[in-house]
Structure 1
């Protein structure tokens, strides 16, 4: 599927941005311009089922195929957050960016025994402003606005499609290209043991102290600082 994209900047270098579940390219409202100021042409997708892109069927493999169909290979930088991190990891061998950043990637989807179910995400589609703000006290008001708008156009079937992956580890065997794993503090997707395993496998692992799961919205300055040496 050819995905809807949004571009910032006209630089000679290319950066790719892949959002997480429930979001779309608007989640990168500060990251895109910041990378453009650093000389990048920044291309952000709306994954299928999100934003202005087409709908269903859904699976991580299909999402990855969409990235390959839509985005240019050989970019200087690719960043994927949460589900976008999982999706990027499944496409990175074909996209072959010079560097990849996986921001709190969804490489372990907790099962029912760990208090998670796809229906939890699906029900969040109707979350009111007060709930979103309470769950994300460090977000700017503009980020709450964006979240409400993206939820309106999100197909919750994307969450329900992940049922078969619950409780499984999806950690890559190793980095296909030089790769940074950027973690929230704490991360509910990549715990300490998994972070250590990723480091053993050749990933660089950095934690943004005090940041929540959506690191780039919870602590934009910390997010950017943790990319030192990768931009």
Structure 2
């Protein structure tokens, strides 16, 4: 499936951005320009079922939103051999699966949802429920460090999102990668609920560099852009 994309910049280097569940390219509204200022042509996708990209097809959410289908979409849409590829949360899962085809020089996984199946209290259905419950006040209360523009973006991306893409995650395999396929950095939220200290140590033993942004929540790049970019020192 060809995905909708948005671009910033026209530099000689290429960076790819892959968002998380419930979101779309707009989550990168400040990251894209920041990378463009550093000499990148930045390409951000809307994953299937998100933003302006098509919905999946099939009889069940698992058929419409299989993880391998997400990865195949990235391979069909994005250029191979990019200098940098960044995936947040669900985007960390799909980017990891697409690495053999995309073959970026460097990959950054932002609080990736690799082990969502074993994370305490993480039920894919809760994301679908959130779409029905979300208000501006609720989003603000959950994300006190966000700019007001991010609150507006969150509500807009929720409205454009197919909640079946969350339900499709139920029962799909999850787990930490066995090795770093390319030079890889993991940027974690402070006290990440998806990648705990033992997981971080295991990832280091498997060839990943792991850094944490103090005080940042799951959507690290929206909570603390400066801290996020600082965590990318030596990678961008």
What is the TM-score when the length of structure 1 is the normalising length?
0.96
Question: Paired residue for 1:194?
Answer: 199
Question: Paired residue for 1:50?
Answer: 50
Task: Provide, for residues 143-177 of structure 1, a one-character-per-residue CA deviation record: whole Å limited to 9, x for no partner.
Answer: 00000000001000010011103xx6421111111
Alignment of 1:184 with 2:164, yes or no, is no
How much has 1:110 moved relative to structure 2? 4.1
CA contact (8 A) 2:115 2:176 kept: yes
Task: Provide, for residues 18-56 of structure 1, a one-character-per-residue CA deviation record: whole Å limited to 9, x for no partner.
Answer: 000000000000000000000000000000000000001
Aligned length: 228
Q: Which runs of 5+ in 2 are unaligned?
A: 57-63
Alignment of 1:66-81 (within 5 A): 66-81=73-88
Aligned mates of 2:3, 2:174 — CA distance in 1: 27
Q: Which runs of 5+ in 1 are unaligned?
A: none
Moved over 2 A (4+): 113-116
Alignment of 1:1-231 (within 5 A): 1-56=1-56, 57-110=64-117, 114-126=120-132, 127-165=134-172, 169-231=174-236
SS where residue 139 of structure 1 aligns? coil
When the two chains are superposed, the root-mean-square deviation of aligned CA atoms in Å is: 1.1
Aligned mates of 1:152, 1:202 — CA distance in 2: 39
Task: Provide, for residues 107-155 of structure 1, a one-character-per-residue CA deviation record: whole Å limited to 9, x for no partner.
Answer: 11145x9323222110111211111110000000000000000000100
SS where residue 125 of structure 1 aligns? helix
Question: Paired residue for 2:61?
Answer: none
Aligned mates of 2:36, 2:113 — CA distance in 1: 26
What is the TM-score when the length of structure 2 is the normalising length?
0.94
CA contact (8 A) 2:19 2:27 kept: yes
CA contact (8 A) 2:117 2:174 kept: no
CA contact (8 A) 2:120 2:193 kept: no
